[in-house]
Amino acid sequence: MILPERSRFVIYALGIFVCYFLYGIVQEKLTRGRYGEEVQADGSVGERFTYALALVWVQCLCNYVFAKGLLTVRPQKEDTTHVGSYVACSLTYLLAMVSTNMAMRWVPYPTAVVGKSAKPIPVMILGVLIGRKSYSWTRYACVLTIVLGVILFMYKEGKVSNLPAETTMLGEVLLFLSLSMDGLTGAVQERIRAASAPSGQQMMKAMNFWSTLMLGVAMVFTGEAKEFLYFTLRHPEAWTHLSLISVCGVLGQFFIFLMVASFGPLACSVVTTTRKFFTVLCSVLLFGNVLIARQWLGAVLVFAALFVDMLYGKQKPPAAPAKKPPAEGRVSEEMKKLTS
């Protein structure tokens, strides 16, 4: 039985929300927690997990194995996508993640939140310029409204940084690079969908295969692979958190690629952008935190835009009227018919 389009969209979106909500909790335990009882140079007790490349590498490897297993159990039609498209998509995807992680060292958290909340905009712009997509004006308005609503909801006022202007500007440049890479990733995915229409599992397998290779090379050259191995030998309990993160990441990315394959990267970027908004909103409703007027306005904008987009966002832009061929062209076509 094939589910209706809207039902599939809701299932995929809920899968992304739930998996990455749990993912964030476990990731914080891994990256913020302490391992062991040794006293560090700064006087703190326990060693921290600081191996960002290794963390992403483990996830990409698990994602690849999961997708490969699915395709082995349930074989699908051959994926005819050009290898270069997957390599380019994997590279831009990894550059976006690395740029974001590096930017967090030089810009305050609210700036990073506001910057990444605008992710659907470059995805849409580069999808039109490179991915040859077209959207209705309703879809443009809804995406911009969602981005504005998330910014209003998430932004925190007050003094947010004591960093020099030079380092803050470097962080903002990295954020801009990250958004550009997000847009390029979406544009390449649009062209892949238009050219060969691979399934979500096929996209997941190919992109994670190349991501695993690229990250593996980077870990070897930077020396992080050896340091990560020594850390896990000293603290084997870290594998528990890594395993939980991998499970949540595998299922979350599975739903993401199903979303991209079925509805496109723009719909996926809107879902992943609003995920953070809904996570905070759930914490407000469950734990009774107080929202200020600006945050309520942002919540109303997001819900209103999502509702309008669900009803009208899939309307196609009006097609240009077909031009009649010139008289000479019509004569030549008639001659071809007569001589054939």
Which among 311, 281, 316, 238 has a CA at the least distance from the CA of 49? 238
pLDDT above 80 for 275: no
Write out the DSSP string of 225-269. Answer: HHHHHHHHHH-TTHHHHHHHHHHHHHHHHHHHHHHHHHH-HHHHH
pLDDT above 70 for 335: no
pLDDT at 86: 92
Place of tokens 């995929």: 12
pLDDT at 287: 56
Q: Measured in whole angstroms, how far is the alpha carbon of residue 161 from the centre of its chain?
A: 27
pLDDT at 213: 94
Task: Summarize pLDDT for 183-235 with one digit per residue, the tens.
Answer: 888 888 888 888 888 888 898 899 999 999 999 999 999 999 999 999 889 88
Which among 55, 94, 39, 103 has a CA at the least distance from the CA of 227? 55
Residue 65: pLDDT band by 50, 70, 90 thresholds? very high
How far from 265 is each of 17, 190, 213, 268, CA to CA, in Å? Answer: 16, 7, 24, 5
pLDDT at 285: 66
Distance CA 61, CA 213 (A): 9
Residue 35 bridge partners (DSSP): 47
Percent share of the chain, pLDDT over 70: 72
pLDDT at 206: 93
pTM, full prediction: 0.67
At 51, which helix (H) or strand (E)?
Answer: none
Average predicted confidence (pLDDT) for the chain: 77
Domain extent listing, the chain: 5-32+49-314
Could you tell me which residue, 243 or 33, shows the higher pLDDT? 243
How far from 2 is each of 5, 6, 334, CA to CA, in Å? Answer: 9, 12, 46
Task: Summarize pLDDT for 138-171 with one digit per residue, the tens.
Answer: 878 887 887 787 777 666 554 444 445 555 677 7
